[in-house]
Structure 1
Amino acid sequence: MIAGLLDGIFNGISIGAVLLISALGLAIVFGLMGVINLAHGELMMLGAYTTFVVQNGFKILGKPWSETYIVFALILAFLVTAGVGLVLERGVIRYLYGRPLETLLATWGVSLILQQFARSVSWVLVIGIGIFCLLFFGAFWILSRRPDFERIRNWVIAIMSPISLGVASATSAVLGQTYKLAVTKPWFGAQNVDVTAPSWLRGGLRLGTLQMPYTRLFIIALTIVCVAGIYVFLQRSPWGLRIRSVMQNRSMSACLGIPTAKVDAITFALGSGLAGIAGCAISLLGSVGPNTGQNYIVDTFMVVVVGGVGKLVGSIVAAMGIGTINYLISSKVLVPMVAPIKPLVDFFEFFGTTSMAKVMVFALIIAFLQVRPGGIFPQKGRSVDA
């Protein structure tokens, strides 16, 4: 009975570690910018697909390189998703600050676009996007040197958008007709793909009757490294100081000369990069598909809200608590312990499935927020009224 409880607690902590690593970036972005980024799950999905691509690339190189791919995958997943996040912030989010409903709808649309992109991406699509960006942004860059550019800016957008789109579409169509399946076949498709852990992450550590898989231990260690890295960055680096300053009082920070727009861009890129690392981690736990991020986005938001907006310690406590409670209820570990009490046995049997356990956890979270609407560690001071 005790062994089953310890095993359940370990598995719950490992699930909490996955939730925490996925919530880190969201907590920073939500706390600083007040942006409800519904595309955060899709950024995790991009990190998972990046891991799959790196894995296949290192398989070609053979051993011993194929055993070290996970290290390079973590770095590349962070860079890829940080770049996507930076483009998203500069191209969409920056125009919607202070408008939470529009931001929510815009990021939801971006999430749908990224899901379809993962299903449909091929060489034709990549070449078409590349040609569009080259023509549109190239013309933008050249014409921005004109002294009257601000006056003609809207005309440039209105004229170059259809021209660039038409040229890119025509080129993609010609390539598709010329090379047929060679360039039009999707890279991933709608089906899930599998990421195989390196041999040194297979198996597990046995302590008595407790079996701890190396994969989950690696994710827990990765989460600790990420939390420590974020803490040091926010507390010890100049940009971390600027981020904390803007988070506490944006107007005063701007008056003191802190470039708030650049801080927003760096913060969003950092949060997106952390989502990519989370995607790399969850790819070790199961197959990767276009809907991978949707399996974690709701729980991730719950971690941020329950922990307290922008509170790193709160996110840690909330992630561990939600992950552990969710697993203990869904795995029926507590049923033998309450065997003498028939109503409790019936209760845990009823909620002893993954879906019903989530319902129970959400009900507990709603009840908790009725008592502490600001979360475990609510904001204090002027930042609450900002």
Structure 2
Amino acid sequence: MLGDYSLGDLGSIFVMQGFAGLILFSVFLLMALGLAIIFGQMGVINMAHGEFMILGAYMTYLTSKLFETYFPALFPGYFFVAMIVAFLAAALLGAVVEWALISRLYKRPLDTMLATWGLSLILQQLYRSIFGAREVGVELPPWMLGSWQMTSTIEVPINGMFVMALTAVITAGVALLIYKSRLGRQVRAVVQNRVMAGAVGIDTQKVDRATFALGCGIAGIAGSAFTMVGSTGPTAGQLYIVDSFLVVVLGGAQSLIGTIASAFTISQSRSTLEFFTSGSMAQVATLIGVVVILMLRPQGLFATKVRR
């Protein structure tokens, strides 16, 4: 398998697949950040998280059409507006879902999983009814088109580099929010000891709602980023939900560093193996590797101590 390639060819392949893995890593990380925040604090397995991502993607699609039709002179900058719209739409829906559904199912993880799975089916059908069953794509701004030629055999798409840069900015923003802001301190207090946090005056119910909305909003931004590298359909979110849960579980549910490390490991493994085997075999091999690691370290790569 490897004998058909020269050392130079293999070097170029690994570099190209490495960049493809970084783009996949960006989508995984943005999806997993929201999941890690929700699951780490609330213990809620949100099976509809992929649909919040697709809501962000559809908001980006609608924003692009709005700018293309009514504000063509501003079209090159529409994506920055679309990200804000996607975040707000997904966060607002997340707050409503937490208030109407999730808040009534705390400490009932199986019921929560089934309820959010049902919600995912409802949202998929809603998207199908509104936008149609066929996939849609956004038109990229002119400055995102093309690629950067690194060498004669290696080139990197500009839109992929933008997605990676966006992921770095969002991850840094989440880290600042969690570790430096008042909300972040309250979230970490609730994660460490919910009863004691409530005893010192923290409104844990309000923190839960804000946390769920924030996690869903980040998924909306992931949807915006997703439109830069792929097309959007009603069921596209389900293609990433399993991998996102793997990232969260492997890294450790309460660990931001663990989420980043596991997203990088899984995405790079998948990207490299897909070139030499097939997509399904790469996913199977990656899953087996994750299972073996979790057998040896069930708490994940980076576990945070919490008091129950």
**Fold shared per TM-score above 0.5:** yes
Which residue of 265, 269, 279 maps to 1:325?
269
1:264 aligns with 2:208: yes
What number of residue pairs does the alignment pair up? Answer: 298
Amino acid at match of 1:373: P
Contact 2:254 2:303 in 1 (8 A): no
1:3 aligns with 2:15: no
- Equivalent positions of 1:1-386 (< 5 A) are 1-121=10-130, 188-208=131-151, 209-332=153-276, 352-380=277-305, 383=306, 386=308
Residues of 2 paired with 1:63 and 1:120: CA distance?
A: 28
Amino acid at match of 1:115: Q
SS in structure 2 at match of 1:292: coil
CA deviation after TM superposition for structure 1 residue 62, in Å:
4.3
Q: Cα deviation per residue 1:274-326 (whole Å; 9 max; x = unaligned)?
A: 00000111111121110010011000000000000121000101011100000
Residues of 2 paired with 1:47 and 1:267: CA distance?
A: 18
CA deviation after TM superposition for structure 1 residue 197, in Å:
1.3
Residues of 2 paired with 1:11 and 1:119: CA distance?
A: 29
Residues of 1 paired with 2:44 and 2:297: CA distance?
A: 22
Residues of 2 paired with 1:6 and 1:99: CA distance?
A: 46
Q: Cα deviation per residue 1:252-277 (whole Å; 9 max; x = unaligned)?
A: 00000000000000000000000000
Residues of 2 paired with 1:35 and 1:42: CA distance?
A: 16
Normalised to the residue count of structure 1, the TM-score between the two structures is 0.76
Structure 1 unaligned regions, length at least 5: 122-187, 333-351
SS in structure 2 at match of 1:227: helix
Greater displacement, 295-304 / 191-200:
191-200
Contact 2:34 2:218 in 1 (8 A): yes
Residues of 1 paired with 2:121 and 2:219: CA distance?
A: 17
Residues of 2 paired with 1:249 and 1:289: CA distance?
A: 40
CA deviation after TM superposition for structure 1 residue 8, in Å:
1.3
**Percent of aligned positions that are identical:** 44
Residues of 2 paired with 1:363 and 1:44: CA distance?
A: 26
* Greater C-alpha radius of gyration: 1
SS in structure 2 at match of 1:68: helix
Residues of 1 paired with 2:60 and 2:197: CA distance?
A: 38
Residues of 1 paired with 2:184 and 2:23: CA distance?
A: 28
SS in structure 2 at match of 1:331: helix
Residues of 2 paired with 1:253 and 1:102: CA distance?
A: 25
Contact 2:53 2:221 in 1 (8 A): yes
Residues of 2 paired with 1:194 and 1:319: CA distance?
A: 25
Residues of 2 paired with 1:299 and 1:109: CA distance?
A: 20
SS in structure 1 at match of 2:72: coil
Residues of 2 paired with 1:296 and 1:311: CA distance?
A: 20
Greater displacement, 63-72 / 358-367:
63-72
CA deviation after TM superposition for structure 1 residue 205, in Å:
1.2
Residues of 2 paired with 1:64 and 1:312: CA distance?
A: 39
The aligned residue for residue 336 of structure 1 is none
Residues of 1 paired with 2:53 and 2:210: CA distance?
A: 18
Contact 2:95 2:209 in 1 (8 A): yes
Residues of 2 paired with 1:204 and 1:250: CA distance?
A: 49
Amino acid at match of 2:136: V
CA deviation after TM superposition for structure 1 residue 64, in Å:
2.5
Structure 1 segments of 4+ aligned residues over 6 angstroms from their partners: none
Q: Cα deviation per residue 1:123-158 (whole Å; 9 max; x = unaligned)?
A: xxxxxxxxxxxxxxxxxxxxxxxxxxxxxxxxxxxx
SS in structure 2 at match of 1:205: strand
SS in structure 2 at match of 1:296: helix
Residues of 1 paired with 2:206 and 2:193: CA distance?
A: 16
CA deviation after TM superposition for structure 1 residue 194, in Å:
1.2
Amino acid at match of 1:256: V
CA deviation after TM superposition for structure 1 residue 379, in Å:
2.6
